[in-house]
């Protein structure tokens, strides 16, 4: 009996040791000119940006986390994002390897190469939305991912804190590879590699030597007799992440660390010390109706090939397009909604990140007009929580909305439906670049002043009252305050204030959360 109890305690202890609040999100169709990717937030991740801004001298405030970008090899290419979890950093974490960083694991399509600018677009998208340290951006990859790692580091040497390239190469010319001397870099390759010849890494080393014969920041290891697949084990080694984390882009002279070693003997024990069964990652991979493989609502998506001459002609017409919009409303009532705002004074409550330029774009006005209305200078400091007058009482504004449908493949397609332009739609919705809208959400496609007779004032007032009613979000499986805030273009702080909750509150599925 004592043996049975002891066994139960051991099992319970093991289960408790593998519990984790670490989260893994499938991010599809999120970044313009980017990639679909997995986003990993480690156990205990907390966004403390507001705290650090409010109390810059608080030494106890949590520091932002580094970013690790894992670039996979050719075998994981495609459009099934789940395959990216088969090996590499995400799989290492699932097996129990502790990586205290925000991890980005994108996926490239079959037959394509990693594009540094598209990887950087994903990095910047994450950097704007999560609490990360951009001076600690690390990239590692193998095979095709090794090519991508070196191409990225050569393109962004001042942004890359450190990089590990395994049995790869580069698509860059020799004259461009000298940039790699600015980055703490570790290249590893086996001499018996039948998939990517070791001469590819030797070319990189030679080009770096030609630019600077000392190659001061390069660590280069060749393993005699090693094949291609053996280097996949590096992703599971604590030493790989320990080495990368020793570097920052702000380090004086950016020296490369040579104290961390990865001997060949280590390759036989990469899984030792990892918990049996790995850790219980919270994976959020909601179903999606998108079939556009990463280009949903993307400004760069091509126009439909069957455009009529009449449509092409309308694109060049006056942007006012009042008549054409009205025609579209009648022919597509299921996807449009027209509301009328009253002529009351309009105010905007200033939030973190607001600028006069962004506020002006959001409300279809100008910085000059805002300054005149509020008696301020264009360089005035905007205080969070204060109200900024947007418009004095005047004629009502009629707003035309488009409800996003499953067949809306791009901003261009929607613009064509209403004979307007992508730029105008972005301006009307207060955007400087396209954002992802999901099926059922609404986009403003037109605004126009209307003349309202006196006897219709009450109707307009009722319409305005309706539009000012609170807006709610029904919590679904996988929702977090951060993702809900992004969806409704608000902040976690605002959501907490509206609902009288803390930012670490547990969200109950089916409950309603006020968002406006």
CA–CA separation, 114 vs 126, rounded Å? 18
How many residues does the structure list for the chain?
A: 516
168 burial level (CB within 10 Å; 0-12, 13-18, 19+) = buried
Indicate the range of 250-264, 269-283, 304-318, 463-477 predicted with least confidence.
304-318
Cα 226 to the chain's mean position, in Å?
Answer: 37
The tokens for 269 are: 């024990």
CA–CA separation, 72 vs 204, rounded Å? 20
In this prediction, residue 364 carries a pLDDT of: 73
CA–CA separation, 304 vs 308, rounded Å? 10
Cα 342 to the chain's mean position, in Å?
Answer: 37
Q: Is the pLDDT of residue 397 over 90?
A: no
CA–CA separation, 151 vs 116, rounded Å? 6
292 contacts 401 by C-beta, under 8 angstroms: no
Q: Kindly state the average pLDDT of the residues 420-427.
A: 82
How much is the mean pLDDT over the chain? 80
Q: Is the pLDDT of residue 90 over 80?
A: yes
Cα 316 to the chain's mean position, in Å?
Answer: 34
DSSP secondary structure letter of residue 11: H
- 393 band by pLDDT with thresholds 50, 70 and 90: low
417 contacts 408 by C-beta, under 8 angstroms: no
pLDDT digits (tens, 9 = 90+) for 332-368: 433 444 444 444 577 888 887 778 877 877 777 888 8
Distances in Å between the alpha carbon of 358 and those of 66, 427, 428?
Answer: 29, 9, 11
pLDDT digits (tens, 9 = 90+) for 5-33: 444 444 444 444 445 679 999 999 889 89
* Percent of the chain residues topping a pLDDT of 90: 42
| Angular region, 478: left φ>0, alpha ψ -120 to 50, beta rest | left
Q: Kindly state the average pLDDT of the residues 299-305.
A: 33
Q: Is the pLDDT of residue 295 over 50?
A: no
Does residue 139 sit in helix, strand or coil? strand
Q: DSSP E strands: which ranges in 115-231?
A: 132-142, 162-166, 185-190, 218-223
Given CA atoms 369, 370, 374, 380 in this order, what sign does their dihedral have?
Answer: negative
The domains of the chain, with CATH numbers, are: 16-284 (3.40.50.1820), 309-344+393-469 (no CATH), 473-514 (3.10.350.10)
- 36 band by pLDDT with thresholds 50, 70 and 90: very high
Beta-sheet pairing, 282-284 with 23-27: parallel
CA–CA separation, 236 vs 479, rounded Å? 30
125-163 b/e with 16+ CB inside 10 Å = b?
Answer: bbbeebbbbeebbbbbbbbbbbbbbbbbbbbbbebbbbb
In this prediction, residue 184 carries a pLDDT of: 98
Calculate the dihedral angle through the C-alpha atoms of 309, 312, 313, 317, rounding to the nearest 10 degrees: 160
116 burial level (CB within 10 Å; 0-12, 13-18, 19+) = buried
22 contacts 279 by C-beta, under 8 angstroms: yes
- 317 band by pLDDT with thresholds 50, 70 and 90: very low
Helix locations, 350-491, DSSP H: 356-362, 367-374, 411-417, 422-428, 457-467, 481-487
39 contacts 482 by C-beta, under 8 angstroms: no
278 burial level (CB within 10 Å; 0-12, 13-18, 19+) = middle
In this prediction, residue 449 carries a pLDDT of: 61
pLDDT digits (tens, 9 = 90+) for 99-115: 999 999 999 999 899 99
pLDDT digits (tens, 9 = 90+) for 179-210: 999 999 999 999 999 999 999 999 999 999 99
Does residue 372 sit in helix, strand or coil? helix
408 contacts 397 by C-beta, under 8 angstroms: no
Tokens 């200078």 sit at which residue? 377
Calculate the dihedral angle through the C-alpha atoms of 371, 373, 375, 379, rounding to the nearest 10 degrees: -20
């Amino acid at each position: 009996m004592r043996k049975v109890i002891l066994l139960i305690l051991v099992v319970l202890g093991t289960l408790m040791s593998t519990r984790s609040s670490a989260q893994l999100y499938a991010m599809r169709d999120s970044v313009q000119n980017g990639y679909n990717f997995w986003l990993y937030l480690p156990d205990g991740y907390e966004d403390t940006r507001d705290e650090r801004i409010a109390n810059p001298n608080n030494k106890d405030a949590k520091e932002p986390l580094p970013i690790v970008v894992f670039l996979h090899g050719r075998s994981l290419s495609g459009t099934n994002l789940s395959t990216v979890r088969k090996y590499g950093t995400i799989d290492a974490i699932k097996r129990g390897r502790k990586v205290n960083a925000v991890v980005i694991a994108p996926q490239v399509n079959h037959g394509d190469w990693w594009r540094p600018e598209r990887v950087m677009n994903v990095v910047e998208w994450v950097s704007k939305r999560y609490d990360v340290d951009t001076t600690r951006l690390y990239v590692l990859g193998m095979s095709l991912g090794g090519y991508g790692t070196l191409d990225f580091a050569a393109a962004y040497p001042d942004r890359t804190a450190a990089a590990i390239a395994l049995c790869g190469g580069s698509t860059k010319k020799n004259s461009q590879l000298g940039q790699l001397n600015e980055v703490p870099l570790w290249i590893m390759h086996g001499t018996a590699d039948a998939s990517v010849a070791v001469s590819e890494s030797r070319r990189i080393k030679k080009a770096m030597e030609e630019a600077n014969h000392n190659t001061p920041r390069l660590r280069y290891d060749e393993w005699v007799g090693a094949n291609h697949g053996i280097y996949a084990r590096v992703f599971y080694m604590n030493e790989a992440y320990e080495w990368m984390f020793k570097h920052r882009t702000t380090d004086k002279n950016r020296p490369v660390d040579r104290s961390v070693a990865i001997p060949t003997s280590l390759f036989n024990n990469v899984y030792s010390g990892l918990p049996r069964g790995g850790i219980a990652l919270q994976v959020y991979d909601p179903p999606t109706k998108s079939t556009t493989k990463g280009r949903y609502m993307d400004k760069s998506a091509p126009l439909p090939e069957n455009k009529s001459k009449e449509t092409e002609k309308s694109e060049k017409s006056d942007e006012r397009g009042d008549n054409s919009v009205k025609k579209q409303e009648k022919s597509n009532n299921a996807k449009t909604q027209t509301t009328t705002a009253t002529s009351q004074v309009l105010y905007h409550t200033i939030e973190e990140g607001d600028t006069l330029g962004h506020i002006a774009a959001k409300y279809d006005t100008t910085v000059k007009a805002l300054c005149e209305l509020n008696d301020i200078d264009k360089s005035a400091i905007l205080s969070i929580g204060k109200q900024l007058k947007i418009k004095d009482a005047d004629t009502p504004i009629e707003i035309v909305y488009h409800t996003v449908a499953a067949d809306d493949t791009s901003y261009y397609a929607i613009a064509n439906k209403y004979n307007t332009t992508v730029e105008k739609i972005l301006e009307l919705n207060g955007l400087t670049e396209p954002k992802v809208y999901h099926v059922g959400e609404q986009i403003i496609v037109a605004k126009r002043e209307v003349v309202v007779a006196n006897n219709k004032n009450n109707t307009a007032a009722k319409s305005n009252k309706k539009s000012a009613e609170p807006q709610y979000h029904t919590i679904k499986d996988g929702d977090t305050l951060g993702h809900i805030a992004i969806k409704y273009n608000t902040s976690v702080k605002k959501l907490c204030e509206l609902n009288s909750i803390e930012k670490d509150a547990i969200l109950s599925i089916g409950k309603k959360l006020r968002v406006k």
